[in-house]
Structure 1
Amino acid sequence: MPLSSLSDAIRARPGRHVRWRDLDLRTHQADFGPYRIHWAEAGGGDDAVALVHGLSGSSRWWARNIGPLTSKYRVLIPDLIGFGRSRVGIRALPDVPGVAHVLGQWLSFAAGGPAYLVGHSMGGQIAIHLASREPERIKRLVLVDAAGLPRPLTPRHVMRFAYEVAPPRQWGDPTFLPIILGDAFSAGAWTVLRALRNILRDDVRPLLADLRVPTLLLWGQRDTIIPLSHGEQMRQLIPDSRLLVLRGAFHNPMVDAPHEFNEAVLRFLSGEEVGE
């Protein structure tokens, strides 16, 4: 797509004030082993891009990105196991590799073949596992403020981390806070804590050198939950990867800077070099 057409496609759609219920979405569900995955779908075309949310999130976190991406792609937006409408009930929540395995099954089913994959925070951590283990499923990979690098778990560091993640201090756009809190409440404290434990126990560093799909790291400049230093370390460890920092954005750059985020993703998926 020519850059002028790309910019026109982005400007033609609203950014910060998109409401989930106003999007033209098709909803689906299917079982993969013991887990039922719910997802939304928008747009058409032969190429599919999947948007994978982070901890205590849901498909709703991508409301500001779906419209622009449908200018060229069929967009698939799942609720990960335990979150959104993909509840687990009394079943045990899988660990990160386990969720990645189910996500791979879902992606092949929903996309009908290899697809582009965009993962945010915990979703990025899961995407790393999937792309390193089953690269044939992924055409290009976008990691957005991705989790997966270990951090100290001393009481001082845990208290500092709790201070940083407490909304609304470091969560960016305050109009998005009701969705953050609503999704966390819907998932429930037990699911969120189990998922957080799985995130902190996992270390993706041994997997990064095995990522052979083109990879773009997108990071919020002001993210203190998963700081920019993590993105810089991942760029050094992932072969031929590039990093783009979105100025002024916090942990959810797809929400805080949707126009810049959407343009960067569209350019990267079309094969352009984005970032440094």
Structure 2
Amino acid sequence: MSSPRRSNAWLLPGLALGGAALAAVWLSDPARLLRAEFARQRLIAGARVRRLSLADGRIVYLEAGRGPPLLHIHGFTGMKENFLPLIGPLGKGWRHLAPDLPGWGESERIEGADYGYAEQARRLAEFIDAIGAGPVDVVGHSMGGGIAAVLAARYPERVRRLVLMDASGVRFSDNAFGLAVLEGENPFGVSDEASLRNYLGLVFDKVPWMPRSVARLMVRQRIAQAGFEQGILDSIGRSEDAFLPEQEAAAIRAPTLLLWCRGDRVIDASAAAIYAAKIPDNRIVLMDGASHMPMFECKAATVAALREFLQ
């Protein structure tokens, strides 16, 4: 078993800093200031960090609010903090649960373990049972959406309502990202500052600014993650299970919202119609002004769509 690791894969837009002391921290210890920013956002959202040991290792997750449980599942290279922009505006009327998926972020990674769609869905079913939260509403983003689809199909008693947000797992219309994955590449791969900009340019319509010290930190983190990322992409992108969510979607009985960005450069918006053709009870909402990260770039529209569907 490896020790937990941290990946600040997403620099949260809107981080405002001032003063010479803070500027010095950016230069000398950007990781410290990013941790402080996540702590600030947790405070605003009323979220606390929790830890839970399961059969396959320890899961670290955020919890906020009271009420019907709402499980947030992050995507490839993502982390639990990706949902902080939504948790606060959605409000405390839900019991928000946002884990680092097993193997990612601060959750435990076990050498040689399977972190594909089916096994992650199984682990999340165990997580739901362990915290006594079921049945839950589920919001799955990107790879997390593919996992959420398998969770809803295989463990229907755990899932009350389902939101697939720019979700992977179906054979969508060809784009540059999808073709590169099928050819064995990692379009999200980061090895230097130029490839970091390319990565951010895929997932954001407007790439957020960051100090160069933070960019260098992110490059180092992503280089350290490269082998793990490649293994996951081999599983969810081009193995026999790459389209497992599509194969199992017809078994989903939970009412489902397909929430997509029209301009998604990662999971083309044609994926929404493919899921809709499989899932009996569904509705589609398409949003403008974002690529693959609607919770950051069109937060108000995302929150409004979630509120309307979940309430």
Which residue does 1:27 correspond to in 2?
49
| Cα displacement string for residues 191-215 of structure 1 (whole angstroms, at most 9, x for unaligned residues) | 2111111111221222111111000
1:155-234 equivalent positions in 2, closer than 5 A: 158=183, 162=187, 166-172=198-204, 173-175=206-208, 181=218, 185=222, 188-200=225-237, 201=239, 202-203=242-243, 204-234=245-275
Whether contact under 8 Å (1:131, 1:211) holds in the other structure is yes
Q: Report SS of the residue matched to 1:209.
A: helix
C-alpha distance in structure 2 between counterparts of 1:133 and 1:67, whole Å: 30
Q: Which amino acid aligns with 1:41?
A: E
Task: Check if 1:137 corresponds to 2:158.
Answer: yes
Q: Report SS of the residue matched to 2:77.
A: coil
Aligned identity (percent) is 30
Which residue does 1:8 correspond to in 2?
none
Q: 1:30 to 1:221 in 2, by over 3 A?
A: same
1:135 deviates by 0.8
Whether contact under 8 Å (2:171, 2:271) holds in the other structure is no
C-alpha distance in structure 1 between counterparts of 2:153 and 2:309, whole Å: 19
Q: 1:84 to 1:176 in 2, by over 3 A?
A: farther
| Stretches of structure 2 lacking an aligned partner (at least 5 in a row) | 1-11, 16-36, 190-194
1:62 deviates by 1.1
Whether contact under 8 Å (1:54, 1:124) holds in the other structure is yes
Which residue does 1:274 correspond to in 2?
none
Match of 1:251 among 292, 297, 300: 292
Whether contact under 8 Å (1:139, 1:214) holds in the other structure is yes
Q: Which amino acid aligns with 1:253?
A: P
Which residue does 1:49 correspond to in 2?
70
- Superposed CA RMSD in Å reads 3.0
Q: Which amino acid aligns with 1:75?
A: H
| Stretches of structure 1 lacking an aligned partner (at least 5 in a row) | 1-14, 271-276
| Cα displacement string for residues 102-146 of structure 1 (whole angstroms, at most 9, x for unaligned residues) | 011102223532111000010000011110011111110000000
C-alpha distance in structure 2 between counterparts of 1:218 and 1:71, whole Å: 22
Which residue does 1:147 correspond to in 2?
168
Q: Which amino acid aligns with 2:199?
A: P
Q: Which amino acid aligns with 2:38?
A: W
How many residue pairs are counted as aligned between the two chains?
255
Q: 1:187 to 1:106 in 2, by over 3 A?
A: farther
Q: Report SS of the residue matched to 1:44.
A: coil
C-alpha distance in structure 1 between counterparts of 2:181 and 2:251, whole Å: 34
Match of 2:96 among 51, 75, 78: 75
TM-score with structure 1 setting the length? 0.82
C-alpha distance in structure 1 between counterparts of 2:51 and 2:254, whole Å: 28
Q: Which runs of 4+ in 1 moved over 4 A?
A: 151-157, 176-184
Q: 1:159 to 1:91 in 2, by over 3 A?
A: closer
1:90 deviates by 2.6
1:69 deviates by 2.2
Match of 1:58 among 68, 71, 79: 79
Which residue does 1:125 correspond to in 2?
146
Q: Report SS of the residue matched to 1:167.
A: helix
C-alpha distance in structure 2 between counterparts of 1:49 and 1:232, whole Å: 25
Which residue does 2:5 correspond to in 1?
none
C-alpha distance in structure 1 between counterparts of 2:124 and 2:220, whole Å: 20
Whether contact under 8 Å (2:187, 2:199) holds in the other structure is no
Task: Check if 1:40 corresponds to 2:40.
Answer: no
Q: Report SS of the residue matched to 2:107.
A: coil
Q: From the CA coordinates, give the structure whose radius of gyration is larger.
A: 2
Greater Cα offset, 207-216 or 21-30: 21-30
Q: Report SS of the residue matched to 1:219.
A: strand
